[in-house]
Structure 1
Amino acid sequence: MRRVILPHHISDDPAPAGGVLRDFAGRSMGTSWSVRLVAAPTVTVSHLQQGLQQQLDSVVAEMSHWESDSNLGRFNRAPAGSWHDLPPAFFDVLSFALDVARASGGACDPCAGTLVNLWGFGPHGRFDHPDFIAPTLDAIASARAQLAAARKDMQLVPAPARRAFQPGGIELDLSAVAKGYGVDRLAYYLKSQGIDHFVVEVGGELRGAGVKPDGQPLWVALEQVEQGQQGSNDELVLALHGLAVATSGDYRRYFERDGKRYAHTIDPRSGLPISNGLASVTVVHAQCMAADAWSTALTVLGRVDGLALAERQGLAARFVERTIDHGHVTYHEYLSTHLRSMLDE
């Protein structure tokens, strides 16, 4: 069965007369990006390829923990007790990530890069290298204690200063929010170029606006954990009209030891990879940055606590829980009230 999710507000702005679809694509943030837009046949759009790539290059230059010379990389290496002027975009993204950390009780913390690195999901000591050894409980406890101590002293000074204090021991990791912000950045750029009908995507996170030349919305299918997954076979499609969508899942990056799966999503509260039975969480939101961050936070919290927080925050969220009984895998879907209200039933 095909189920449809519709936005609460639909613009009646039509696509350009005689509009045609144009496609652009590239690489950034260790993944691919793509843009499909509608433009009048007389409008020149060839310059957009370079402009779109530059937007993402700017995000990487400021916020990548993979690039040692990024603003984030320099902050992470800075001496204890130092203040740093941050670019406006970096400051805003970090501030938002810290807001989500507070609202989620620390389930998604941009300051927890040390824990991510311990488990081999950062830029060094990777889990897929042959010499990787999973951290001991003592090493995890030590990293958590150091993080807790440093976290108390970290400070941000808002605009116009936009400064951050490195107390020592803070390693920022914005991977739960920067990709979503990159999607938003592409959308803002297209708007600035007079393009109002488009869908943009970075590594599977999407945002759309307007309609196709035939007046139909830009449809996308919500990501499934597995093709033909039992217990959640219904296709769920979203009209990507003024909305963004992001999914966090334990099936994207992980490693296995002694028959146990260790997901790349780390719970900063315990210092351990999540193991709460959630296979994925999808969040639909006006901003992809928010959808990205909240999907991670809700995944860490688990189905019960995550769904409760989604209700309190008014988030449109879909939880897919995996149960295994004697080797038989079943998936169960749970929708927040806000997402359920968007179903066209």
Structure 2
Amino acid sequence: MRRVLLPHAISDAAPAATALLHDLSGLSMGTSWSVRLAAEAGVDLASLQHGLQQQLDDVVAQMSHWEAGSDLGRYNRAPAGSRHVLPAAFFDVLSFALEVAQASGGAYNPCAGALVNLWGFGPTGRYDQAGFTAPTPDQLAAACASLQQLSLAPDAATRSVCQPAAVQLDLSAVAKGYGVDRLAYYLQSQGYGHYLVEVGGELRGAGVKPDGQPWWVALEQPPVQDGAAALPAPIVLALHGLSVATSGDYRRYFEQDGQRYAHTIDPRNGWPISNALASVTVIHPQCMAADAWSTALTVLGPQAGLRLAEQQGLAARLLCRHADGTYSETLSSAFVSMLDQ
């Protein structure tokens, strides 16, 4: 039986009676993006497409660790002790990421790029390239030790941060969600209030469709192999003034010497997570927040993750995979309060 999640606040604003459904899409951040828009027939789709793509191109130019010429790439190569004035968006996203890092006790850390690179999930020396080997415990210990001593000393007045010593920023757990938000902000700035935005599976919705129905989306589920136990009943969400992001251990991983290594790294010990969580879904007004918090909760694991979700008032679903092939879910109280019961 399908379960339904509803937002607490529902606007009665509706598209024009003659509104149609328009679709736009493109590529960015190594994935695809799409927009479904409820608007009049005369919309200049070409201009809108260009403007939307520009928003994501700007995020990449500032925050991509894959682009050597990005602002983040230049920061990562900067000498120790240097200080850098960042573009406003970059500074805001990094500041939020650092807040999540502090609140999660370091379970999420935007400064953990060196660890991500060691495990082959960064832009070079990747796990799927010839010659890759998993890092040694000594390498991980050294990387974690240096990570614990870092301080970027952000200064909001000047939008500047310090590069203490070869810090490798990696905003991949927050920048995609921010990209979703940027598309939504752009649509709002152009006078559009009814849309569904998606970048690489992360979503944000506002308003309703031309038929008055909300933007219904199904919460992501892990793939179930033949013979495996069924997952808990699926959940659909009315994405009305809300965003949703899911972190899962099934998205990227590699196997070496019989061991499976997921792409989500615990910055506190340097190792890929192995805490039974198959996925964590977070629902939040901001997709940037849903993206970052879903990663932090995933690293923390079922018990500590749920505690942090309750402390932060997050609507979170934590899905565990057990050794016998069964699944169980834990829902935060904010998530339960949205269930249509």
Aligned to 1:47: 47
- Tell me, in whole angstroms, the C-alpha distance in 2 between the residues paired with 1:305 and 1:127: 29
User: 1:226 offset after TM fit, Å?
Assistant: 1.4
Instruction: After TM superposition, give the deviation of residue 233 of structure 1 in Å.
Output: 4.0
Question: Which residue number in structure 2 is paired with residue 319 of structure 1?
Answer: 318
Deviation of residue 292 (structure 1)?
A: 0.1
Superposed CA offset, 1:148-172 (max 9, x none) = 23x1x4211103x101111112110
- Between 1:297-306 and 1:256-265, the stretch displaced more is 256-265
TM-score normalised by the chain length of structure 1: 0.96
Of 305, 319, 330, the residue aligned with 1:334 is 330
1:180 corresponds to which of 177, 182, 188: 177
Task: Give the equivalent residue in structure 1 for 2:152.
Answer: 154
Residue number in structure 2 paired with 1:23: 23
Query: 1 CA distance for matches of 2:232 and 2:103?
Result: 33
Q: Which residue of 2 aligns with 1:96?
A: 96
1:257 equivalenced with 2:256 (yes/no): yes
**CA–CA separation in structure 1 for the residues paired with 2:240 and 2:260:** 37
- Taking the aligned partners of 1:261 and 1:7, their CA distance within structure 2 comes to 38
Q: Which residue of 1 aligns with 2:218?
A: 221
**Structure 2: how far apart are the matches of 1:266 and 1:207?**
26
Question: Aligned equivalents of 1:305 and 1:155: distance in 2?
Answer: 28
Task: Name 1:203's counterpart in structure 2.
Answer: 200
Cα deviation for residue 235 of structure 1 reads: 1.6
Partner residue, 2:10: 10
Q: Which amino acid aligns with 1:199?
A: L
- Work out the CA distance in 2 between the residues paired with 1:309 and 1:235: 24
Look up the equivalent residue of 2:211 and give its one-letter code. Answer: D
| Deviation string, structure 1 residues 227-249 (Cα, Å, up to 9, x no partner) | 58634241200001000000000
Of Structure 1 and Structure 2, the greater strand share is in 1
Shift of 1:42: 3.3
- Match for residue 295 of structure 2? 296
Residues 279 and 319, structure 2, Cα contact 8 Å, conserved in 1: yes
Native 8 Å contact 2:119 2:135 kept in 1: yes
The one-letter code of the counterpart of 1:70 is S
Tell me what 1:132 maps to: 132
Q: TM-score, normalised by structure 2?
A: 0.98
Alpha-carbon shift at residue 18 of structure 1 (Å) = 1.1
CA–CA distance in 2 between the matches of 1:155 and 1:33?
Answer: 34
Letter in 2 for 1:121: F
| Bigger shift: residues 255-264 or 128-137 | 255-264
- Residue in 2 that maps onto 1:271: 270
Task: State the one-letter code of the partner of 2:276.
Answer: G
Instruction: Output the amino acid matched with 2:312.
Output: Q
The alpha-carbon deviation at position 45 of structure 1 amounts to: 3.2
Between the aligned partners of 2:229 and 2:182, the Cα distance in structure 1 is 37
| Conserved 8 A contact 1:232-1:333 | no
After TM superposition, the structure 1 = structure 2 runs for residues 233-252 of structure 1, keeping only pairs within 5 Å, are 233-252=232-251
Specify the alignment match of 1:170 in structure 2: 167
Give the distance between the partners of 2:327 and 2:168, measured in 1 at CA. Answer: 36
Q: How many residues align?
A: 339
**Separation in 1 of the partners of 2:232 and 2:101?**
33
Name the CA distance, whole Å, in 2 between partners of 1:238 and 1:252: 22
SS in 2 for 1:47: helix
- Whether contact under 8 Å (1:231, 1:332) holds in the other structure is no
Question: In 1, distance between residues paired with 2:28 and 2:77?
Answer: 23
Q: Which amino acid aligns with 2:79?
A: P
Identity in percent? 68
Distance in 2 between residues matched to 1:222 and 1:123, nearest whole Å: 29
**Runs of 4+ in structure 1 displaced over 6 angstroms?**
none
Deviates more, 1:67-76 or 1:257-266: 257-266
Output the aligned Cα RMSD: 1.1
How far residue 44 of structure 1 moved from its aligned partner, in angstroms, is: 3.0
Unaligned runs of 5+ in 1: none
Structure 1 residue 17, shift from structure 2 partner: 1.6
Contact map agreement 1:220 1:239 (CA 8 A) in 2? yes
Distance (whole Å) between structure 2 residues aligned to residue 264 and residue 293 of structure 1? 15
Distance in 2, matches of 1:233 and 1:112, equals 33
